[in-house]
Structure 1
Amino acid sequence: MHSTPLPTSDLARLAQDVLAHAPEAALPINLSEQWLHCIARDLACGFEELEGDGSREDYLAAPLALVLHLLRGQGRTGEVIPYDDLMGYMNDFRIEIALELVNRTTPLKSTPATIETIFRQREVASELNEGPSPA
């Protein structure tokens, strides 16, 4: 456990940095390092894997805003999304956030989601990028 409370993401700043732009800005590959880590933390707290300072709903607000922005980019506006489907999209988004963190922090590289492929069952190709070999 940690002794410092984990704050929720700043929704006003998220709106300015990401949501004010095209839906593709909400793809994990396009999130800044800071937003990627904040959203990963929010998802972990929202799914109660980490203890946070706010409620589960407080932590899920920013990831939910990103998921809805992405769905809008897929042309899914004005429709009612059943709760179970929405939670499925949130779980898909968690996986994509985790894949992007792996892409950025390890030599293992996987195919990032696009606006067309996110929230759809897709094959994720990965390869080990070992860099230059020693002389």
Structure 2
Amino acid sequence: MKNERTVSQIPKSDLSKLQKEVLSLGRSAALPKNLSDLWLKMIARDLAMTHKAVHFGPDIHSHQSLKAPLLLVMALLKIDYVSEDAEEGYSPEQLLIYMRRFERAIYEELIGRVTGVFINRYSIDSIFAAPLQ
């Protein structure tokens, strides 16, 4: 028996479409559970490409991989997680933690949609509160 993987073609994340189709709808639209199937797949792919670049070296597309997921994280952080010193913003360490939590939520949502088993359905209040394991 052959172990063949079927690879679907997922278009590149278009930041102008992300703005129009997701970000313009408000913070909650950036939650994984509210993303369309296509956006969920594109964001999951972008996050996987980022991991691949970190572990195996960047390729011609990896420099674009983090932009769409980071925009979604920043949209989710807009109100509840503003720094006390607005000029200071977020440290790279803080952003990395938020990105990892968002990544986990993206993967859990994708798995849930494929299997019908949803581990968590994150909200604005809970997405960045989940502990990392």
Q: CA offset at residue 37 of structure 1?
A: 0.1
SS at match of 2:118: strand
Indicate yes or no: 2:24 matched with 1:15: no
Q: Distance in 1 between matches of 2:41 and 2:89?
A: 30
SS at match of 1:15: helix
State TM-score, norm by structure 2: 0.78
Which of the numbers 45, 56, 69 marks the counterpart of 2:49?
Answer: 45
Summarize the alignment of residues 15-34 of structure 1 with structure 2, pairs less than 5 Å apart.
15-34=19-38
Indicate yes or no: 2:122 matched with 1:113: yes
Change (3 A) 1:94 1:43: same
Change (3 A) 1:103 1:6: closer
Percent identity between the two aligned chains: 37
- Larger proportion of strand: 1
Q: CA offset at residue 53 of structure 1?
A: 6.0
AA in 2 matched with 1:108: V
Unaligned runs of 5+ in 1: 123-135
Change (3 A) 1:78 1:110: farther
Unaligned runs of 5+ in 2: 1-8
Match in the other structure for 1:132: none
Query: Aligned pairs, how many?
Result: 123
AA in 1 matched with 2:120: T
Q: CA offset at residue 65 of structure 1?
A: 0.2
Q: Say whether the 8 Å CA contact 2:32–2:105 is kept in structure 1.
A: yes
Q: Distance in 1 between matches of 2:110 and 2:97?
A: 20
Indicate yes or no: 2:74 matched with 1:68: yes
Q: What is the aligned-residue RMSD (CA, Å)?
A: 3.2
User: What's the CA shift string for 1:19-48, capped at 9, x where partnerless?
Assistant: 111100000000000000000000001122
